[in-house]
Structure 1
Amino acid sequence: MSWEAARCALDPEAVRAALGDAGVAVIEGTDVSDAEFVAFLERLGPLTFTEGEASHPGQPKLNVVSNMGRKTKPRSVFHTDTSYVSRPPAFTALKAERIPEAGGETVFTNQFDALERLDAETQARLKGARVLHRVTGVNPGDGAETETWHPLLRRHPVSGRVALWLSTPERCVDLELADGSRVPQMVAELYAHSTDPAHHWRHRWKAGDIVIWDNRCTLHKADHSAVVGDRVLHRGMVGGEEPVAA
């Protein structure tokens, strides 16, 4: 593994700097309410919400990520949040509410690193490619966006670095190269490359933790394979821009 998350204070400028450098920021030992959590995220930008998901009953700008009351483990695969809309969220943040006795880590990959690990010939072939992202897992309702073409090689609006930007193959249903040829099977190959376990970084949750990541250059998933006890997190998302091709 060649990268890891940055540790920083609960300060918007420190978080922006950390995200621009590492893609994931960890803020330890916080003791903030949901209202304070929302107020902090709003200092990073206007909040957004995934249509079709249920909001937190006491805070409509947040939703709850929980394993409580479930007979089966929640399903989780590496993905970037809500990528099927024209302006996907820039940042996602989780605030720890209940930490399980064991397990329940959140796992990340760095997509700048994923692109750099491809050979030069493959990188050249992917220049100008685009991917069709389609909604999965939620029902956004009538009139909501459900699919969008996005560039596969995405230039970060702050750092200028280029990421290999895709999501789970269930959501990335087609891939078109710059010459117009369609090679949807490449999605699974690039996804497997991106999520190589040798290049994961895992966050082991502790009470008071807040973790924020940049959806423009990371993939993430929850590891539910060995959870013992209740796992409850509150989630907020900061809106983003239309992806820019590299």
Structure 2
Amino acid sequence: MQYQVVDPIGARVTDLSLDEVDGGDMARLEKLLAEAGVVVIPDQNVDDRAFLAFLERFGELMFTKGEMPLAGYPDLNVISNVGRTTPPRSTFHVDTTYVSQPPRYTALRAVHVPQEGGHTQFSNQYAAYDTLPDEIREDLAGRLVTHVVTGVDPGDDAETSAVHPIFLAHPLSGRTALYLSAAARCAAISGKTSEETAEVIAYLITHSTREDNVLRHAWSAGDVVMWDNRVVMHRADHSGVVGDRVMHRGMVR
């Protein structure tokens, strides 16, 4: 396994086949994910069974209730523009933060890559924290954010909100990241009014997703992309997509 770190976040891994990873590869991938946030693993001619087996090496899988499961693989879900009359909408977010144990990792397997567009963007949340003005960092230190469900119906007796620190220390890298999700999901900041919360979250998202802090991944056939949800936010850019865009997604609790 070899890799090349890219700016402003991420790494491209080569000489690795997902159906042949060993314990040493897994340890290096977890460390790389903690440091680089996103790993792009190209040229993976694997099916869903091998993709799922690879993810299970990292830990217990989880599924976002209300999403579209993949037939025959209930731990995976389908992300697709096929048959839609209007493009999907996506804003920068972190997956399923409204539960007390959100996913550590998310991974996408490219099933159909469009002829044009359909990139996925990732923001560097380490850099977002590091570049906060001192007065804002001091004001937000120790505060918690209440994350709420939006966009899906999780069903009865499911978690619909959870509280997480706004500054999250990563247990492997030792670095601190600004832990956010989409503005609609960040319902409250401890010690702030609703008006103050909305203003602060809007500022933090704009600060995190400035152009020089975002990686834009252009998909190729055979790509598998995995990211650490404690390090990055992400969004799909559905503007200007030509052709079918189909991804299969898995998440590790």
Q: What residue number does 2:126 align with?
A: 112
Q: TM-score, normalised by structure 2?
A: 0.90
In 1, Cα distance between equivalents of 2:31 and 2:204: 28
Q: Establish whether residue 22 from structure 1 lines up as the match of residue 36 from structure 2.
A: yes
CA shift for structure 1 position 68: 0.2
Q: Please identify which structure carries the higher strand content.
A: 2
Q: Which of 5, 8, 13 is the matching residue for 2:10?
A: 5
Residue 249 of structure 2 aligns to a residue whose secondary structure is strand
Aligned position for 2:231? 217
Q: Does 1:136 align with 2:141?
A: no
1:202 aligns with 2:216: yes
The answer for unaligned runs of 5 or more in structure 2 is 1-5
Q: Which has the larger share of helix?
A: 2
Aligned to 2:170: 156
**Distance in 1 separating the partners of 2:35 and 2:230:** 12
Which structure 1 segments of 5+ residues have no match? Answer: 240-246
Work out whether residues 34 and 231 of structure 2, in 8 Å CA contact, stay in contact via their aligned partners in 1: no
2:34, 2:172 within 8 Å by CA — same for their partners in 1? yes
Runs of 4+ aligned residues of structure 1 deviating over 6 Å after TM superposition are: none
Aligned equivalents of 1:106, 1:70: Cα separation in 2 = 19
Q: Find out whether 1:190 has 2:191 as its counterpart.
A: no
The CA deviation string for residues 110-139 of structure 1, in whole angstroms up to 9 with x for no partner, is 101100111222111110111110000100
| Aligned residue number for residue 100 of structure 2 | 86
1:133-164: CA deviation from partner (whole Å, max 9, x where unpaired): 00001000110000112110111121121111
Aligned mates of 1:127, 1:2 — CA distance in 2: 27
Q: 1 CA distance for matches of 2:218 and 2:247?
A: 13
The normalised TM-score by structure 1 is 0.93
Tell me which residue corresponds to 1:121. Answer: 135
Partner of 2:53: 39
SS at 1:20 equivalent:
helix
For 2:192 and 2:74, the matched residues in 1 are separated by 43
Q: CA deviation at 1:209?
A: 0.3
